[in-house]
Amino acid sequence: MTDTVFTDEQLEAGRKLFARPVAFVKGVVNRGALPAGGRPEFAFAGRSNVGKSSLINALCNRKTLARASNTPGRTQEINFFDVAEGRFWMVDLPGYGFASAPKKNVQVWSQLNLNYLRSRSKLKRVFVLIDSRRGLGDVDRGVMEQLDSAAAHYQVVLTKTDKIKKSEVAEVIAATKAALMKQPAAHPHVLATSSEKGIGMPELRATILSLA
């Protein structure tokens, strides 16, 4: 269901990479506390409830590595996970688009994220998670504009595709790709996933390996 094609060898190498240890290292609330760069890193962004924690857990074959960030307080943190003992950082960016979040929180979120995006020279890709039932929303477009202006490469990952029909998945992929053509820093390929069913996880692992 995804348009990114990998060989069996690449998928297997991705599986092996994510079978190695993954550990939560720190939650960061201000720029000064960002860990040293120096290794490749991959960030995950998305509206709250998009399925970001579930995806990070599924990617790493864990159940409780990333916690659902359903309280606005926790959304302020950028969480760093070490993958494969120093091979790369996996970075869980604060969820955005809380209906109940005060405006001030949204701004703090943006500033911390912008600082992060602009200061990480080895940030290889930001995966922007989009709920496949909703498609791209205004808040997502706003975040993509921030990524464009920070010149941070990003790729859309559709979540929860098990909840819609295959034909609908194809439609949302097509609509998303069409919208992304206008975004300069967007990767043209869209990954369709379901953390619940494990769909798209091998491809996402192989994508990360190809850039790490």
The residue among 26 and 163 lying less far from ligand GDP, judged by its C-beta, is 163
**144 φ, ψ to 5°?**
-65, -35
Distance CA(134)–CA(138), nearest Å, equals 11
Residue 75 touches ligand GDP, criterion: CB under 6 A: no
Residue 48 touches ligand GDP, criterion: CB under 6 A: yes
The residue among 69 and 146 lying less far from ligand GDP, judged by its C-beta, is 69
Q: Which stretch binds ligand GDP (CB under 6 A): 26-34, 35-43, 44-52, 200-208?
A: 44-52
The label of the residue with tokens 């820093």 reads: 185
Please report, as residue ranges, which positions from 127 to 186 form the binding site for ligand GDP (by CB under 6 A).
159-160, 162-163
Residue 14 touches ligand GDP, criterion: CB under 6 A: no
Query: Minimum Å distance from CB 49 to ligand GDP?
Result: 5
Judged by CB under 6 A, the number of residues near ligand GDP is: 19
Cross-sheet strand order for the sheet of 41-46: 22-28, 78-83, 88-92, 41-46, 123-131, 154-159, 191-192
Residue 53 touches ligand GDP, criterion: CB under 6 A: yes
Q: Nearest Cα to 157, choosing from 2, 31, 24, 14?
A: 2
The residue among 74 and 118 lying less far from ligand GDP, judged by its C-beta, is 74
Q: Which stretch binds ligand GDP (CB under 6 A): 50-58, 80-88, 137-145, 169-177?
A: 50-58
Distance CA(103)–CA(100), nearest Å, equals 9
The residue among 132 and 146 lying less far from ligand GDP, judged by its C-beta, is 132
Residues contributing to the site for ligand GDP (CB under 6 A): 46, 48-54, 68-70, 95, 159-160, 162-163, 194-196
